[in-house]
Chain A
Amino acid sequence: MSSALQIVWVYPDLLSTYGDRGNMLILAHRAKLRGIPAETVEVRSDQALPYGDIYLIGGGEDGPQALAAQRLAADRGLHRAVDRRAVVFAVCAGYQLLGNSFFAKGAKCDGLGLLDLHSDRGPTRAVGELAGDIDPALGLPMLTGFENHGGRTHLGPEVKPLAKVRAGIGNDGATEGAWSGTVIGTYSHGPALSRNPALADLLLRWATGEEALAAADDTWHTRLRSERLGAAGLV
């Protein structure tokens, strides 16, 4: 086992539609800024899930999503990771498959049961700016992102919403995403962390056990955030 922080991108061969690589790159970049040694690992769906400190799961179409859920269920590596409180950050299709069930290609599919939630199809496709006030327990500024999904997600009592929706749809127009322990899922798709550097730092803090990280120069992230929150009518 390496002493460097292991950032594992789960199944980019199946779940990588649009800039999902960004979350891995941003975490590695922000770790490096703080002098934290980090390694990134891309795991194909025909490989066993390795040990990791942070697992990233991206978005994808129905077919690959269902296949990824089957392979992760058989592999059990992600379950073991959650048991030892490794960090999991999942977006879109990756978020849905962490739940108890989801819909793909018109059929109900078993999820991994790592978050107490289930997903089905909504009446409309949610495409556009997404923003919301993040659960105060996480101590983060407003979430901003871009969503593109046809799902609706219903949260059970074991998880908390990641945010209360201020713009866009998220889970159901009221809440967006979910979290429990060190597992977070969101409909903010693709490189969600590019607009939410404080969320990236939270994942790094959880993974390293550090209470606080050295300040980073977030000039461009901050400008991007205010521009996009402005576009969503929230500034």
Chain B
Amino acid sequence: MTENKLPLRASLAASVSRTAAALSRATGRGDGSVIGGRLGMMIDPDLLAHLAAGRRIALVSGTNGKTTTTRFTAAAVGVLGDVATNSFGANMPTGHTSALARAGATPYAVLEVDEHYLAQVLKATTPLVVALLNLSRDQLDRAKEVAMMAQLWRDALADHPDVHVVANADDPMVVYAAAAHAAAGDGRVTWFSAGQRWREDAHVCPACGAHIERDEADADSWRCATGDLVRPAPQWTVDESAVIDPEGVRHEVKLQLPGKVNVGNAATALAVAHRFGVSPADAAPKLAEVASVAGRYAQVDRDGRNIRLLLAKNPASWLEAFDMAEEQPTLLSINARDPDGFDTSWLFDVDFAPLRGRQVLITGDRAYDLAVRLQVNDVPFTHVKSFDEAVAAVPPGRLEVIANYTAFQDIRAELDRVV
């Protein structure tokens, strides 16, 4: 809905939301999306629904890759015109409200949604498409169990028979979440495959509790031992550098972002944009323009070192980060502050063996937890007390930095908030 058609209360709320966000930015208190959205929703609790009405919206959710996939999808849908998006990663309803209020009248929106809020945001925004990426362990000291999240998603979709779902055929949890939706009508779900490195959360079928069996010969295939949940045939697939569409046409994606996981994110974005009527051939070049996402993958030159920042928040994303990082000196930084979760046990779910043979430096609030983990993993390392010390300790050239959430933000701040 365009702004001048909003109910008076919603219009006022949207205006307050924008003003608060602008004030917050001007006073250096962040990008303002959360505070702006919160104020707007206090004035009009249905503000998100009002702002969403009449727009064609895509939601992107999952444990990992949602910020990047949202950015890619917004770029792809951008072929059609301006796209409202929460590009600062404010992925709860306040952030969505703020993003839509800020965007004005554009009919297109692509919103990243925290997986816990998917049901609520589905209800408020009645999207055209929902992309479901993956589900894996993440901050289990407070997050919901993985199978429980899959059930919540499944229940949420049951209330929205008309939404089109783009879902990951490689993840049994995602397939369980979308399977009933797919079974209820032809063509309601588009399946994609991008290969899944992390499998430790999908040993057991979420439908019946039997084991998920995998075929040694075909690493991506899987099926429940009882046959009640089987990997669907994917329509969109990837190879090392290209996305293959449902007609079998190969679209080379010359991404600036590293790693096979980002080719998978590109495939998801192209599949979602396709539902908006954007052809993959038109959208693919747009993805190549994305250089970094909220500081992730950003490269900064300092003292002759080319520093690249990779964010890794949970075991699945660490495996992807090892795939992206070049075999160069690597700094690992671990914190366990509130946004990270206070528990570092997950370090033992990650196999750090791929780092053997590189110069490895460690830092962060919880560097000692990491030190013990690396020692047990036979990965030699050096502990440094600061980011500057790390930069000084490596030869000129590439320094890969892999950090969890607040550690990543600390290093970004050191590098003057690179974007």
Residues of A within 8 A of B (CB): 12-14, 16-22, 25-26, 29, 44, 46, 61, 63-64, 67, 127-128, 146, 148, 189-191, 194, 220-221, 223-224, 227
Q: How far is the CA of A227 from the CA of B141 in the complex (A)?
A: 20
Residues of A within 8 A of B369 (CB): 194, 224
**Proximity bits, B331-368, A CB within 8 Å = 1, else 0:** 00000000000111111110000000000000000001
User: What's the minimum C-beta distance from B218 to chain A, rounded to whole angstroms?
Assistant: 21
**Set A21, A44, A63, A146: member contacting B348, Cβ < 8 A:** A21
The reply to whether A224 and B137 form a contact with Cβ atoms under 8 Å apart is: no
Cα of A220 to Cα of B211 in the assembled complex, Å = 38
Minimum CB–CB distance for A163 against chain B, Å: 19
**Majority SS of interface residues in chain A?**
mixed
A-B contact pairs, 11 of them (CB 8 A): A13-B203, A18-B140, A18-B141, A19-B349, A22-B348, A25-B348, A61-B145, A127-B141, A146-B343, A191-B345, A224-B371
Q: Is the CB of B376 within 8 A of A146?
A: no
Question: Given the interface contacts A18-B140, A190-B345, A220-B371, does A25 sit within 8 Å of B376 by beta carbon?
Answer: yes
User: Is B293 located at the chain interface by the 8 A CB criterion?
Assistant: no
B26 proximity list for chain A (CB < 8 A): none
Chain B residue nearest to A32 (CB atoms) is B378
Q: How far is the CB of B63 from chain A (nearest CB, A)?
A: 14
Contact between A19 and B347, CB atoms less than 8 A apart: yes
Judge whether B158 is part of the interface by a CB distance below 8 angstroms: no
Contacts of B211 in A (CB 8 A): 13, 44, 46
Question: Is A223 a contact partner of B345 (Cβ separation < 8 A)?
Answer: no
Task: Indicate whether A223 sits within 8 Å of B368 (C-beta atoms), given known contacts A17-B140, A18-B345, A64-B204.
Answer: yes
Are B348 and A17 neighbours in the complex by a CB distance under 8 Å? no
B372, CB-defined interface residue at 8 Å: yes
Question: B260 contacts the other chain (Cβ, under 8 Å)?
Answer: no
Other-chain contact of A19, B209, B346, B368, B375 (Cβ < 8 Å):
B346
Give every chain B residue within 8 A of A64 (Cβ-Cβ).
204
B212 and chain A: residue at smallest CB distance: A13
Q: How far is the CA of A13 from the CA of B213 in the complex (A)?
A: 12
Contact with A along B141-153 (1 / 0, CB 8 A): 1100100000000
Closest to A226 in B: B368
B375 adjacent to A146 (CB under 8 Å) = no
CB of B373 within 8 Å of the partner chain:
yes
Bound state CA distance, A17 and B349, in angstroms?
A: 9
Q: What is the chain B residue whose CB lies nearest that of A146?
A: B343
Q: Which of A16, A21, A128, A220 contacts B368 (CB 8 A)?
A: A220
Q: How far is the CA of A219 from the CA of B183 in the complex (A)?
A: 57
Bound-complex Cα distance A223 to B385 (A) = 14
Tell me how far the C-beta of B61 lies from the nearest C-beta in chain A, rounded to whole angstroms.
Answer: 22
Across the interface, name the chain B residue whose C-beta is closest to A27: B376
Quote the shortest CB–CB distance from A43 to chain B (angstroms): 13
- Complex formed: what's the CA distance from A120 to B241 in Å? 54
Which partner residue on chain B sits nearest A221 by CB separation? Answer: B372
B160 to A: closest C-beta gap in Å: 27
Contact with A along B262-295 (1 / 0, CB 8 A): 0000000000000000000000000000000000
B200 CB within 8 Å of chain A: yes
Q: What's the minimum C-beta distance from A201 to chain B, rounded to whole angstroms? A: 14
Which residues in B have their C-beta under 8 angstroms from that of A148?
A: 140-141, 343
Q: A44-B211, A61-B145 are in contact. Are A18 and B372 (CB under 8 A)?
A: no
- A18 and B375 alpha carbons, distance in the complex (Å): 19
Which of A18, A194, A221 is close to B343, meaning CB atoms less than 8 Å apart? A18
- How far apart are A71's CB and chain B's nearest CB, in angstroms? 11
**Which of B140, B200, B204, B348 contacts A191 (CB under 8 A)?**
B348
CB distance from A32 to the nearest CB of B (A): 9
A128 closest partner in B (C-beta): B342
